[in-house]
Structure 1
Amino acid sequence: MAATGFHTADELNEILPGTLPGLLGLVITAHEPGRLEAGLDVRPDLLAPNGYLHAATVVALADTACGLATRALLPDGSAGFTTIELKSNFLGTVREGRIVTVATNAHAGRTTQVWDAVVSDPASGKTIALFRCTQSVLWPR
């Protein structure tokens, strides 16, 4: 599979085993250019020692959704991308169930892309985190 271009949710799910998102149990549920939905089931091994969902689990879900979605909007001729900045605001947490995210593109330029993701608890409808990242578009040397 090419590193860039549009891929269906099923195609993206096929590349996750053997990676951190695969280890976390992340599943892509929908993908269209500029938007990607994903989720994961909360398990005891994804919690922090305090018994709440670990912040890194939330960031991994949001960052993966934004990163996989970035691929569909890369300019022709680019070699890929890398995350150069990310920020999260945590508004809530869960101890069990499922969390989901919707990643949307805010800017898709020739040198950078900016993505927003909202992570939520579908059982309660509450927002768990707001996430934003900037991707640097890489060009062949």
Structure 2
Amino acid sequence: MLAGRLPGVLGIEVTAWEPPRLTATMPVTSAQLAPNGRLHAGSVVALADTACGLGCRLLLPASATGFATLELKTSYLGTAREGTVTAVAELVHGGRRTQIWDATVADEAGRTIALFRCTQLLS
């Protein structure tokens, strides 16, 4: 499912699925770094959005066939230069028409580097 797509290219892997929570990891490599040598903000969003999106897909109600992102927001609290970063995504609202997911992204030492929220429109 992830191979050949952006998550696969970035090395994102799902490591746990305990509904309504999904955990995914991404190795920090030179390909994910910004010109300043720190983890690129877009890489962090890609990890968090992938975790939330996969969780949404797994928890679609029977009446839905898909979803589209209505909104996403990321608050950056830190960064990483190496190691592995982990996103823990959790469903905070599961309605008939929308889902809202929160994700916390942490570095290898467990320090929170980003808080992420997205709203998904179910179709």
Shorter-chain TM-score bucket reads: over 0.9
Alpha carbons 1:34, 1:72 under 8 Å: kept: no
Shift of 1:116: 0.2
The residue that corresponds to 1:100 in the other structure is 86
Q: Could you tell me the TM-score, scaled by structure 1's length? A: 0.85
Q: Distance in 1 between matches of 2:112 and 2:63?
A: 37
Where do 5+ consecutive residues of structure 2 fail to align? Answer: none
1:128 maps onto 2:109 in alignment: no
Where do 5+ consecutive residues of structure 1 fail to align? Answer: 1-14
Question: Secondary structure of the residue that 1:62 maps to in structure 2?
Answer: helix
Alpha carbons 1:101, 1:118 under 8 Å: kept: yes
Q: Distance in 1 between matches of 2:111 and 2:97?
A: 34
Instruction: Work out which of the residue numbers 18, 28, 35 in structure 1 matches 2:14.
Output: 28
Query: Which of the pair has more CA radius of gyration?
Result: 1
Question: Secondary structure of the residue that 2:9 maps to in structure 1?
Answer: helix
Shift of 1:48: 0.4
Q: Which runs of 4+ in 1 moved over 3 A?
A: none
Once the two structures are aligned, what percentage of the paired residues are identical? 59
RMSD: 0.8
The residue that corresponds to 2:105 in the other structure is 119
Question: Secondary structure of the residue that 1:66 maps to in structure 2?
Answer: helix
Instruction: Work out which of the residue numbers 42, 46, 56 in structure 1 matches 2:42.
Output: 56
Q: Could you tell me the TM-score, scaled by structure 2's length? A: 0.97
